Structure 1
Amino acid sequence: MSTQRHQAAPARFLEDANAHSSTIDEKWAASNEQWWDWYLSLAHNEAPPPGERLALPPLPALPPIPMAALERELDEDYPLPQAGIEQFRTRGYIKLKQVCSAQALLSLRRELEALLASASATPGVQFQSVEMLWTMAPLSRAFVFSRRLGRIAAQLMGVEAVRLYHDNVLAKLPGGGRTPWHYDAHHYPIASEKVVTLWMPLQPTPRAMGPLAFAEGVETWRRFAALEFSKFDDSYDRQIGETLRRDAVAVEDGPFALGELSFHHTRCLHTAGANHTQRSRLAFSTTYFEDGARLVDSPTMISGDYEKFVQDTGPGQAIASPLNPVLYSAAGSR
């Protein structure tokens, strides 16, 4: 069989320091780019569907947004209803429509496509990522420091101020396979439940393109808290998928319209499908955490090269390095 899983055996992406033990309780030994290749190879992928990949309509031909107009848009409050906050805290996620304009999102897509042009994509994985965009690209920085988005994150968590863990662009190229089932608290080295991640697709994203999908229930992760994580095969992802289907757990896997985005809780179990279209699926992501949260005592290899995002911070110390600025404060300071 010629499945994505067989084309990209996980062991090929592991350095010797991680390949000669079965534990994940050790430091990741390579780059975050290599981490993504390894991680995507842990997904259970069936054989690709027959036929050509789906052709999509052209993206709207909108002019670049002026920076002043973008900053005004990203500074305005978004009317988040209390019912939406309650949904997030019960279900573990929320999808919000018309948060950003098509002109703003497509301008950001063009900026990120330029950054991705020099990034590599491993055959059999078809995935690219670039982190810390706020340090290298002006539109990306505007989105990361957006009062509009940061305020939503703070409202969902019920906190006064939020800091940045990291941002990134996640590009699933045509033919790219699934993202494994996971919950972020299993990955992020942040000792807090007050952590949320924004996932903002930069094009209309039908099911065939692999949008983010969420298992209903912020406590659903508990079913899998004791499940052994394998760094050598797809067993972890496969067992979660089989259990969710067996127990008829509802999964929200619908498309995203342009301007629609999601926030998910650090305990929300989620995945993303394969990209069966002819267009790259680009998503801009930002992870926020409550101001005052601390680094966990023992980060694992599935935290990747977290020291790239959290510098000069020891176990148990508050995460407040220059790379983790306050992005929103109800008191008005940034």
Structure 2
Amino acid sequence: MSPNPYLSAATEAGEADDVGPAWDGDNDQWWDWYMSLADDGGPAGDLVALAALDLGYLPDDDTIVAELAEPYDLPPRAVETFAEDGFIVLPDVVSPGAAEVLRRRLGGLLADAKGSALRAREMIWREDPLVRAAVLSPRIARICAALLEVEALRLYHDSALCKEPGAGRTPWHHDAHHFPLDSHDVISTWMPLQPVPAAMGPLSFARGMDTWRLLADLAFDKVGTSYDRRVAQTLREAGAVIHDQPFALGDVSFHSTLCFHTAGANRTTQPRMVLGATYFADGARVVEHPTMVSGDWQVFIPRTAPGEPAASPNNPLVTGLAAPWQTE
């Protein structure tokens, strides 16, 4: 029997750190496999019951689209903080009403997702106009471009993520290991669509843009949890500062492809719904040898061979002269 039930014979072949084979399953299977690599540490008691939010009046789609077209005033030193820490959490990026409407929309879009612990779907911006407006929004795009200090950004993909009640941790990782792009000018957003207290498993970050260098020589483990354990141990021994604060409704985090991060188990009775997206500097190319850790990357960058520019119709410009929302 395979040491990991989510791997095919082809992807399981070789040593545990051999991720060279291409992923040959779908993205639901990929998420089940990846979540299985987290060291959960055993049962954590009863789930915490959370009070339901009552936000009253909810905005319509047009109001949300208009909101997300408005500029966001970055706090002083936000760009410097991102460059130093590798991440930043910004308040009030979306209004509570917009978050609730998006949460309900994602709930419907994820109704048929098959993941057991984490239900996930990507590329939903292509089928839902409100999600498209959020993922390609001028507000989010301009924040990302400002933090990366680049002018032209393209979308890699969006992610609708629902971590079910009782679902375990997401393992420690950095996205440079996942995204088959030859650039470090890559940024990901994490937009929770409800408050995320500690018990719900907020995204947590290892502070320091260069912290990844502490972990560069650790061998990956594609069948078990040893990589996750060794990352956590190395960070502890190095005295790395871990940012693991709850998210208020409206908070959105932005992290570099080099930033190591994890997310805790959802120990509440409510699902944790998140809209995420990743953007990269225009001009990046697909790496020469994508691996199984990149999943079904050709869904996100179709009809593009290794070594070619990542500029398919699925990767629209979100900032720059050809950005679809730009009117000035």
Give TM-score scaled by structure 2 length: 0.95
User: Among 240, 243, 258, which residue is 1:249 paired with?
Assistant: 240
Match of 1:263 in 2: 254
Task: For residues 222-271 of structure 1, give each alpha carbon's deviation from its aligned partner in whole angstroms, at most 9, with x where no partner exists.
Answer: 11111110101100000010111122211000000000010000000100
Alignment check: 8 A CA contact 1:99 1:261 kept: yes
Q: Secondary structure at the match of 2:5?
A: helix
Deviation at 1:63, TM superposition (A): 4.0
Alignment check: 8 A CA contact 1:10 1:38 kept: no
Alignment check: 8 A CA contact 2:65 2:130 kept: no
Q: Distance in 2 between matches of 1:89 and 1:264?
A: 10
Match of 1:30 in 2: 25
Match of 2:89 in 1: 95
Gaps of 5+ in 1: 1-8
Task: For residues 264-303 of structure 1, give each alpha carbon's deviation from its aligned partner in whole angstroms, at most 9, with x where no partner exists.
Answer: 0000010000000000011110100011111111111100
State the aligned residue count: 321
Structure 1 position 70 matched with structure 2 position 64: yes
Q: How do 1:181-196 residues align onto structure 2 when only pairs under 5 Å count?
A: 181-196=172-187
Alignment check: 8 A CA contact 2:215 2:234 kept: no
Match of 2:190 in 1: 199
- Paired-residue identity, %: 47
Q: Distance in 2 between matches of 1:164 and 1:15?
A: 30
Match of 2:281 in 1: 290
Q: Distance in 1 between matches of 2:52 and 2:187?
A: 32
Match of 1:155 in 2: 146
Match of 2:109 in 1: 115
Deviation at 1:121, TM superposition (A): 3.3
Q: Distance in 2 between matches of 1:161 and 1:81?
A: 22
Structure 1 position 104 matched with structure 2 position 98: yes
Deviation at 1:20, TM superposition (A): 2.3
Match of 2:34 in 1: 39
Match of 1:4 in 2: none
Q: Distance in 1 between matches of 2:267 and 2:50?
A: 11
Q: Secondary structure at the match of 1:282?
A: strand
Q: Distance in 1 between matches of 2:10 and 2:261?
A: 29
Deviation at 1:97, TM superposition (A): 0.2
For residue 112 of structure 1, what is the amino acid of its counterpart? L
Match of 1:83 in 2: 77
Task: For residues 123-157 of structure 1, give each alpha carbon's deviation from its aligned partner in whole angstroms, at most 9, with x where no partner exists.
Answer: xxx21101101011121111011000000000011
For residue 301 of structure 2, what is the amino acid of its counterpart? V
Structure 1 position 15 matched with structure 2 position 8: yes
RMSD: 1.3
Structure 1 position 48 matched with structure 2 position 39: no
User: Among 270, 273, 286, which residue is 2:264 paired with?
Assistant: 273
Match of 1:326 in 2: 317
Q: Distance in 2 between matches of 1:96 and 1:332?
A: 27
Structure 1 position 143 matched with structure 2 position 134: yes
Q: How do 1:171-190 residues align onto structure 2 when only pairs under 5 Å count?
A: 171-190=162-181
109-118 or 257-266, larger mean C-alpha shift: 109-118
Alignment check: 8 A CA contact 1:80 1:152 kept: yes
**CA distance change for structure 1 residues 62 and 292 in 2, over 3 Å: closer, same or farther?**
farther
Match of 2:208 in 1: 217
**CA distance change for structure 1 residues 188 and 95 in 2, over 3 Å: closer, same or farther?**
same
Q: Distance in 2 between matches of 1:67 and 1:277?
A: 29
For residue 75 of structure 2, what is the amino acid of its counterpart? P
**CA distance change for structure 1 residues 10 and 307 in 2, over 3 Å: closer, same or farther?**
farther
Q: Distance in 2 between matches of 1:209 and 1:270?
A: 16
Structure 1 position 166 matched with structure 2 position 161: no
Alignment check: 8 A CA contact 2:55 2:97 kept: no
**CA distance change for structure 1 residues 107 and 301 in 2, over 3 Å: closer, same or farther?**
same
Alignment check: 8 A CA contact 1:10 1:41 kept: no
Alignment check: 8 A CA contact 2:154 2:281 kept: yes
Q: Secondary structure at the match of 1:316?
A: coil
Alignment check: 8 A CA contact 2:303 2:312 kept: yes
174-183 or 16-25, larger mean C-alpha shift: 16-25
For residue 192 of structure 2, what is the amino acid of its counterpart? P
For residue 167 of structure 2, what is the amino acid of its counterpart? G
317-326 or 9-18, larger mean C-alpha shift: 9-18
Alignment check: 8 A CA contact 2:28 2:113 kept: no
